[in-house]
Structure 1
Amino acid sequence: MSIIEKAAQRMDKKRDAAANAAGADNVTPENVTAFSPAASPAAAPRPLAPEPAGPAAPAPLPLTPSATPAFAQAAAAPLPPQQPQQPPEPAARAARRHVELDLNHMRDSGMVTAAVGRTALVEDFRIIKRPLIKKALAERAPGERPGNLIMITSSLPGEGKTYCAINLAMSIAMELDHTVLLVDADVARPSVLRVLGLPAQRGLMDLLLDEKLDMSEVMLRTNVDTLSILSAGTSNARATELLASKTMSDFVNEIANRYPDRIVIFDSPPLLLTSEAHVLASHMGQIVVVVEAETTTQHAVQESLRQLEGCSNVNLIYNKTREFPGVEETYDYHYS
């Protein structure tokens, strides 16, 4: 072999040794693909070249409660438990209504009051009320109407029935052991509140029309502790039917039996002019017919009594009589 060939062989050996050394240096963990039965070496992914570096993206800001969107806050906050809605209580039931009677004006008008002293009028109504109270407190027979329901009526208007009803109520209110409810049942021509100087109020007719209305919402407490008033209420064309209804029957039974010491006085329409009086009488335990002296005819009185046939405990008050000469209207006794 010539010198030139030997030199070429040596150069080839050096080139092969350099190639082998370069291949061993390129084997790193990054370009080694693990083999598994589910992947073949041919399907192994080749390492990707790194992306060229671009502008750095801004780091996301941490969310705070103030930066959290409203809908996110609503979703995160727990919902408060729902409370059952309670029906509103009528304000009128919380406190009963109160009115002031002008007792001085009533006294000056010739009515019974506790401060009027011992007069003929006061004594007359003391005599009138005693048998009525006795019957009101008596034990009832089975099926008998309550004796503490007392109706004051007359044959015709103007005979003084309202005047007598108010005075009788005031006289009974002076008792130590009884309370009185004065009901204006003259629904066609109510006058109790007018005579007492009080404005019109809701009352009996409204109770019969509205089953949700409670009596405490319309009953009037007065400055006479033992006296309450129930007005006639709103006028209604069907008053007769309302007074004859079961609602009315239930109402009078309730007020008659709720308080054993209560006496209820109804100022009724005149018997000969309206149909309401006859219907109202069917609920009553006692009836008082006011007769105007020297004015009401005997025929009118007889006709009124005929309409009350079947009603027990009918009494008469002879009203507006002339004073006996020589007898003073006001007198006083002093006891020692």
Structure 2
Amino acid sequence: MSIIEKAIDKLDQGKGDAPRAPIIASAAEAAQKIAVPAVPTPAAAAEARASTGATSKRVEINLARLHDLGMVTPDGGRTAIAEEFRLIKRPLIDKAFDRASGVASNHANLIMVTSSLPGEGKSFCAVNLAISIAMEMDHTVLLVDADVARPSVPHFLGLKNDTGLMDVLLDDKLDLADVMLRTNIDSLSFLPAGKSHRHATELLASQSMSRLLDEIAKRYPDRIVIFDSPPVLLTTESRVLASQMGQIVMVVEAEKTTQHAVKAVLRQLGASTNISLLYNKSRGFSGEEYYGRYYN
């Protein structure tokens, strides 16, 4: 039995079966070593940050609200959840950039966070992951709300769903910089979902979306982009989006998500896809909930 199969077998077991520390295992190659990324030069990072803010509007994330929700915040200290996401983000960052050049290849810096069904905590994990990576010294982060039918990220950030992704795809005259929002968290920008559209799947599968993703992936050498995607088994948008991602993080809710649901998602996304499982809401021996059991 492979490591990933053992991980899936734990999903239907009783309480207390989750390990204390995040476990790393590869869905495609369980024993594959993770490369250490080259660090972009400070000049390149500074140029990227300056360019990001050229025309973008600045918004204030409600950091006190995030803290009250038990989420990662830049000044929140070494909380349990902050430590969990420090461990979770490291393999994703390592895979995002080519070891020799330090440049993202094959959209590896585009990371989609999804789940099989609603309510498993994907948006919670996407926001925490984005903030945790934004706390790195050498990376900028763009958080994209791609759940266009039911945008959840603004709820956590204390923002409204403004003009965003769908509007850029619908209006050729609208530039990404016109809708991308700079935030009061250093190195973190946010792209709202924008207005809902009945042809969202077709828009996400369009050439306009492919060009937009190429621009997002390649324009800034230090950028990692986190997409909060719809659940895979609920909509077709996530499957279309997944085909253009470099990495996928599937959130699996402890003691709730079934093996059948996980296997159905893996079949739909394809065995060759770089998929990681994040075992979410597991309880430690103290009974405390952890967002951070990670299967890569």
CA displacement at 1:210 relative to structure 2: 0.4
Which of 241, 248, 256 matches 2:202?
A: 241
Measured after TM superposition, the shift of residue 327 of structure 1 is 8.0
- Which residue does 2:126 correspond to in 1? 165
- 1:208 is aligned to 2:169: yes
1:261 aligns with: 222
Q: How far apart, in 2, do the equivalents of 1:94 and 1:262 lie? A: 16
Residue in structure 2 matched with residue 227 of structure 1 by the alignment: 188
SS class of match (2:182): strand
Displacement, 1:311? 4.4
Deviation string, structure 1 residues 44-91 (Cα, Å, up to 9, x no partner): xxxxxxxxxxxxxxxxxxxxxxxxxxxxxxxxxxxxxxxxxxxxxxxx
Q: Are the structure 2 counterparts of residues 279 and 106 from structure 1 closer, same or farther at C-alpha, using a change threshold of 3 Å?
A: same
Structure 2: give runs of 5+ residues left out of the alignment.
1-52, 291-296
CA distance in 2, matches of 1:133, 1:275: 27
**1:126 and 2:86 are equivalent in the alignment:** yes
Match of 2:178 among 217, 220, 227: 217
Q: Distance in 1 between matches of 2:99 and 2:237?
A: 28
* Alignment equivalent of 1:114, drawn from 69, 74, 78: 74
SS at match of 1:129: helix
Residue 265 of structure 1 deviates from its aligned partner by 0.3
TM, length-normalised to structure 1: 0.67
Stretches of structure 1 lacking an aligned partner (at least 5 in a row): 1-92, 330-336
| Contact 2:66/2:156 (8 A) holds in 1 | no
Percent identity over the alignment is 65
In 2, Cα distance between equivalents of 1:159 and 1:102: 23
Letter in 2 for 1:298: Q
Q: Are 1:308 and 2:269 an aligned pair?
A: yes
* 1:138, distance to aligned residue in structure 2 (A): 2.1
Superposition pairs of residues 56-71 of structure 1, within 5 angstroms: none
Moved more, 304-313 or 102-111: 304-313
User: How far apart, in 2, do the equivalents of 1:128 and 1:212 lie?
Assistant: 38
| Structure with greater proportional strand content | 2
Q: CA deviation at 1:259?
A: 0.3
1:35 corresponds to which residue?
Answer: none
Answering whether residue 282 of structure 2 is matched by residue 321 of structure 1, we say: yes
**d(CA) in 1 for partners of 2:192 and 2:166?**
9
> Could you say which residue in structure 2 is the equivalent of 1:145?
106
5 Å-filtered alignment, 1:14-53, equals none
Q: Is the 8 A contact 1:187 1:235 kept in 2?
A: yes
Could you give the per-residue CA deviations for residues 186-242 of structure 1, whole angstroms, max 9, x where no partner exists?
A: 011111112211112000000000010011110000001200000100100000000
Give the counterpart letter for 1:135 in structure 2: K
TM-score by length of 2: 0.76
Aligned pair count reads 235
Q: Where does residue 282 of structure 1 map in the other structure? A: 243
Task: Supply the distance in 2 between the matched residues of 1:139 and 1:328 (Cα, whole angstroms).
Answer: 35
Could you tell me whether the CA contact under 8 Å between 1:145 and 1:283 is conserved in 2? no
- 3-state DSSP class of the match of 1:284? coil
1:120, distance to aligned residue in structure 2 (A): 1.4
Amino acid across the alignment from 1:109: L
C-alpha distance in structure 1 between counterparts of 2:217 and 2:54, whole Å: 23
Provide the C-alpha distance between the structure 2 equivalents of 1:268 and 1:233, rounded to a whole number of angstroms.
14
Aligned residue in 2 for 1:176: 137
- Go from structure 1 to structure 2 and tell me whether the alpha carbon gap of 1:193 and 1:132 turns closer, same or farther (over 3 Å shift): same
Q: Quick one: structure 1 residues 219 and 284, their matched pair in 2 at CA, closer, same or farther if it must change by over 3 Å?
A: same
- Measured at CA, do residues 243 and 115 of structure 1 come closer, stay the same or move farther in structure 2, by a change above 3 Å? same
- By relative contact order (CA 8 Å, sep 6+), the higher-ranking structure is 2
CA distance in 1, matches of 2:142, 2:126: 11
Q: What is the CA-CA distance between 1:145 and the residue it aligns to?
A: 2.5
Kindly tell me: are residues 215 and 156 of structure 1, through their superposed partners in 2, closer, same or farther at Cα, counting changes over 3 Å? same
Is the 1:281–1:311 Cα contact (8 Å) retained in structure 2?
no
Decide whether aligned partners of structure 1 residues 121 and 270 sit closer, same or farther in structure 2, where only a CA change above 3 A counts. Answer: same
